[in-house]
Amino acid sequence: MKVLNNYIAREILKGSLVASLVLLSLLNFFTFTDELGDMDEGTYSIKDIFIYLSMTSPRDFYELLPSATLLGSLVTLGGLGSNRELIAMQAAGASKFRIIWAVVRGGLILAVFSSLIGEFIAPPSERAAVDFKSEATKQQVASRTKYGFWLRDGRIFINIRQIQHHDELGDISIFEFDENRRLKLETHADKAVYDGSKWRLNNIKISRIGQNGASSESKSTVDWASVLAPDLLNVFVVQPKNLSAYELWKYMEYLDNNGQKNQNVELAFWGRIVNPFVTLVMLLVAVPFVMTIRRETSVGQRIVVGVTFGLGFYLFDSIFGHFGLIYQMNPILAASFPTLMVFTFAVVAIARLR
């Protein structure tokens, strides 16, 4: 039976990974066509597009794996059924539930693999991709340090300590150097707000440094004609989808300690926790489909079933998550209810197998 378990688990892994690569290739193709529209911005080239796609692929793979598992297992188990291998296994003494356990073993490996990618590879890779594209399209050099967000635009260096939103900044320092790399102007503002066309600085202190000494002045408001693009700041605004489960947990602690509550962050955290279990549930869903579908069913029909069910689950999960945010539902319930519902359906369907 050990050989049988390993064989089924290996076929499930192979089918799921092949389906993942096919779906990832399709998604990257569509992303590639979208990225071609940005080639006229900055230095963004064909080579940069492929680099960007390679950086975003881990996140896409992580998100596609549950659907690919369903699709791959339907094709794989369906092939075993069509070739009468499942019947031969049962004739050799393997019960249907032993076959299901072999399928689940393969799913456990996929779930662990998905968790590792989602926790350690996808988040930093996605953030690096956003940084890379922003610098290529905006031709601005930006970095984030423990001293805030730094941006260089020619001989002007900008330091931003607080980013409330991509169009609202706080504690801004602007350093301008001459052609000899000597500081000639330093400006500090308590706040900056983007009105759609330009930045407006509030509570400004300006220091001018020359060969004959330094002078300073204060102003209440000043229009700042900076090339600083608000879209570039999206890189440094915390995006829950670009954080690992551990980072989301620490961010939730930070918000809680500061008397803040962000349900979007909590929903993203519990979504990370639930995602590996979705992979297992998709495998369980495939079992009753294969056991009840006639052996004459073609591979194309199985693919249609897998794509339809996987797409339906994805849409329902996304819609329910949005409802959870709108109606202030418990984040655990909002993140897990679609998976629990499908799991119940799979368990009932498996229990009815004879």
Assigned domain for 102 exists: yes
The pLDDT of residue 333: 93
Assess whether 191 and 60 both reside in one domain. Answer: no
Cα 128-189-157 angle, rounded to 5 deg: 45
What tokens appear for 271 in the block? 């979504």
With respect to residue 321, please indicate whether it lies within any of the assigned structural domains. yes
Supply the pLDDT for residue 110: 93
What per-residue confidence (pLDDT) applies to 128?
85
Among residues 228, 251, 284, the one where a domain terminates is 228
- Residue 34 pLDDT: 93
Q: Return the pLDDT at 272.
A: 92
Final residue in a domain of this structure, among 164, 197, 228: 228
Distance CA 131, CA 234 (A): 10
Instruction: Single out the residue in 174, 206, 228 at which a domain terminates.
Output: 228
Alpha helices in the chain (DSSP H): 2-35, 46-82, 85-91, 96-116, 122-138, 230-233, 245-257, 263-292, 299-326, 331-351
Please tell me the predicted confidence (pLDDT) of residue 340.
95
Residue 50 shares a structural domain with residue 131 = yes
Residues 127 and 253 grouped into a single domain: yes
Residue 167 lies in a domain: yes
**Amino acid at residue number 143:** S
Could you list the mean pLDDT of each consecutive 10-residue stretch along the chain, which spans 354 residues? 82 92 94 89 88 95 92 85 77 80 89 93 88 73 67 81 76 88 89 82 88 83 72 62 85 74 85 92 85 62 78 89 89 94 90 74
How much is the pLDDT for 50? 95
Shared-domain flag, residues 116 and 263: yes
Task: Provide the pLDDT for residue 236.
Answer: 57
User: What is the distance between the alpha carbons of residues 64 and 69, in angstroms, rounded to a whole number?
Assistant: 9
Give the C-alpha separation, 128 to 250, whole Å. Answer: 20
pTM, entire model? 0.77
Residue span of the structural domain in which 267 resides: 2-138+240-351
pLDDT (0 to 100) of residue 180: 83
261 plus 335 within the same structural domain:
yes
Do 151 and 296 reside in the same domain of the chain? no
pLDDT at 14: 92
How many whole angstroms separate alpha carbon 333 and alpha carbon 106? 27
Residue 98 and residue 14 share a domain: yes
